[in-house]
Amino acid sequence: MFSQTIICGPIVCLYKGNGVRHGPERWNLSSSFLTNIICLMRNFIKRKFVSWKLLKQRPTLPPLCPMDGIPSSPSIGSNLSHQKQAEVLLKQIYTNQSERQILERKLKNLRELNQNDKYIPSIKEMEYASRIAWRNATRCIGRLLWSGLLVRDKRSCFKADDIFKEIKEHLAIATNQGNIRSVITVFAPISKDPDLIISPQLIRYAGYRYNDKEIIGDPENFKLTKLALDNGWAPPKNEFDLLPVIIRTSSGSHKLYKHLDDSVLEVKILHPSIEGFNDLNLKWYAVPAISNMFLDAFGDLYPVIFNGWYMGTEIGSRNLSDPYRYDKLPKIGNLMGLDISDETTMWRDRALVELNYAVVSSFKKANVSIIDHHNASREFLEFIANEHAAGRDINANWSWTVPPVSGSLTPQFHLNFQDKELKPAFVHSNLNKIIT
């Protein structure tokens, strides 16, 4: 298969001169602490060089090391029993030779389950599954730090009041006074019939439609806003009203929970030089916490809340710019003195760049975590180098990893990826669909 002799072992990969360790999670127990540290530092420097080199030439993917040994994951939609899915994931978790007896005991217990019984993972196993689900997320450009995800195991939470208590705690930990932490909170599985969060994100701005021409707020949240209004919410009806968190109980009723005034960190979007920009009174929240997805792992679905931090274009190029969202580009173009009646003036492009600059600079000035699309792309290349050195092929959705501004200036624009969604994974379900 390969034209050269491959000297490759479970600790150090020498395939085509990679000279790096197999994955950040592995540690050579037979070597000294100093030897391990030197190897890790060498690995870090090598991968930084690989990602830098890719930025300076026509992008090509680094070689894929043939040394793997980790069982392949089932893809989403594959027809495997829930117990077989649990078996595959357990084999991924307990890969070290020293854990062989643990794995055999786990597999024995799994085989003794009745056909309809679900495997109950340990805290360690749930932590591993959550992190691997992030690593498998093909639409995410920011997977470099997947192994550092903070996992909160709250599978004992079934009821709405308890769930909202954990929501408040999750936001406090994630916000971290602006130094955003990547956090996931895992709730009781669907097999236990828990109450479910309906809100797509913990923090959303309301949208009100009076007629086709009079729209206030975020049009994307019309349905969620109507559901809140129908259940007794009485907002001031301004452009950036924080929606309450909506939880559907197992009986089908809805419970609304308002955020406390100091529990949501928001950033005012300001521009240092465009006159009149700051009078637009733009702002956005700091923590993008997804709350309507499920962790598909061990043959069960677990409701989760998870967050990273924003890439600037998510706010500047989408949330505030899309014609079907806040649609602020025409106003910004006018403030810049551009002729917005003539597309050849490139007024949209010029206004878009300035809005993105305003978003990133405002977050940085407020000391709130954010990353621009160029640095995010560099980190994505580093993630690819890590995965290939570990013997894992990269799966990515091209249209999601290429940013919505300056796409061709980023290396992933010039690359092709396979887009195979593997389990464990974060998935949507009709179980918590918004119904008005």
Task: Please list the active-site residues.
Answer: 140, 143, 309, 314
Residue 345, token pair as written in the block: 């003036």
Q: Cα(15)–Cα(250) distance, rounded to whole angstroms?
A: 53
Residue bearing tokens 């994951």: 73
Q: Residue 247 pairs with which residues in a beta bridge?
A: 197, 255
- The alpha carbon of residue 149 and the mean position of all alpha carbons in its chain are separated, in whole angstroms, by 10
- Are the beta carbons of 355 and 316 closer than 8 angstroms? yes
Tokens of 66: 């043939």
Cβ neighbours of residue 121 under 8 Å, at least 6 residues apart?
Answer: 86, 129, 297, 298
Rounded to whole angstroms, the Cα distance separating 317 from 315 reads 6
The contacts of residue 76 (CB under 8 Å, 6+ apart) are 296, 421, 422, 423, 425, 427
What is d(CA 159, CA 428) in angstroms, rounded to the nearest whole number? 20
| Tokens found for residue 370 | 């954010």
Query: Strand pairing partners for 304?
Result: 186, 293
Peptide bond into 424 cis (omega under 30): yes
Q: Is residue 244 classed exposed, middle or buried when 0-12, 13-18 and 19+ CB atoms within 10 A define those classes?
A: buried
